[in-house]
């Protein structure tokens, strides 16, 4: 196993926000004494990049709104624009990007133990009182003796 202390430095190719999140996540995992392994570097990187994607999309949503107006130009017979007709609204594409990134953050964050639910599940794995005798449980379920 590898301590989060040994991977504190973020990969060079990450953007600024992703690098900041790398430090936050690895510091948290280190303090939580989480069993981080080399293979987890990819998960941490994925979490950090999805965070940056989410934040970038959110900035676009703040700037441009969740929807944009659709206008159609009205032209005369000579092809000159003489007016515009309002056609309605369409969803800002950044909302779909933010939605996808949030889903990934939730999934990957759970795998890394970054949510209250996943931390509780990880804590129960090591709890010997919560251990289940599978053979006895199956015997009880099937009405037989174990």
The pLDDT of residue 123 is 66
Long-range contacts (CB closer than 8 Å, 24 or more residues apart) made by 83-92? 91/66, 91/67, 92/60, 92/61, 92/64, 92/65, 92/66, 92/67, 92/68
Q: Which two structure tokens, joined as six digits, stand for 107?
A: 């999934």
pLDDT tens readout for residues 92-131: 999 999 999 999 999 999 888 888 877 777 666 655 444 5
Q: Which range is least confidently modeled, 15-24, 46-55, 65-74, 126-135?
A: 126-135
Contact at 8 Å (CB) between 93 and 64? no
DSSP assignment, residue 10? P
Looking at the DSSP bridge assignments, the partners of residue 70 are: 88
The pLDDT of residue 127 is 57
The pLDDT of residue 139 is 67
Using the predicted structure, report yes or no on whether residue 1 has a pLDDT greater than 60.
Answer: no
């Amino acid at each position: 196993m590898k301590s989060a202390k040994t991977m504190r430095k973020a990969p060079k190719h990450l953007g600024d926000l992703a690098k900041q999140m790398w430090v936050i996540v690895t510091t948290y995992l280190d303090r939580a004494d989480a069993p981080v392994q080399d293979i987890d570097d990819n998960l941490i990187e994925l979490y950090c990049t999805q965070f940056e994607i989410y934040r970038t999309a959110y900035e676009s949503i703040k700037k441009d709104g969740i929807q944009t107006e659709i206008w159609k130009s009205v032209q005369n017979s000579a092809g000159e624009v003489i007016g515009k007709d309002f056609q309605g609204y369409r969803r800002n594409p950044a909302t779909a990007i933010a939605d996808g990134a949030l889903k990934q953050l939730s999934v990957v964050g759970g795998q890394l133990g970054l949510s209250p639910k996943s931390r509780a599940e990880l804590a129960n794995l090591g709890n010997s009182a919560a251990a289940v005798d599978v053979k006895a449980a199956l015997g009880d379920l099937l009405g037989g003796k174990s």
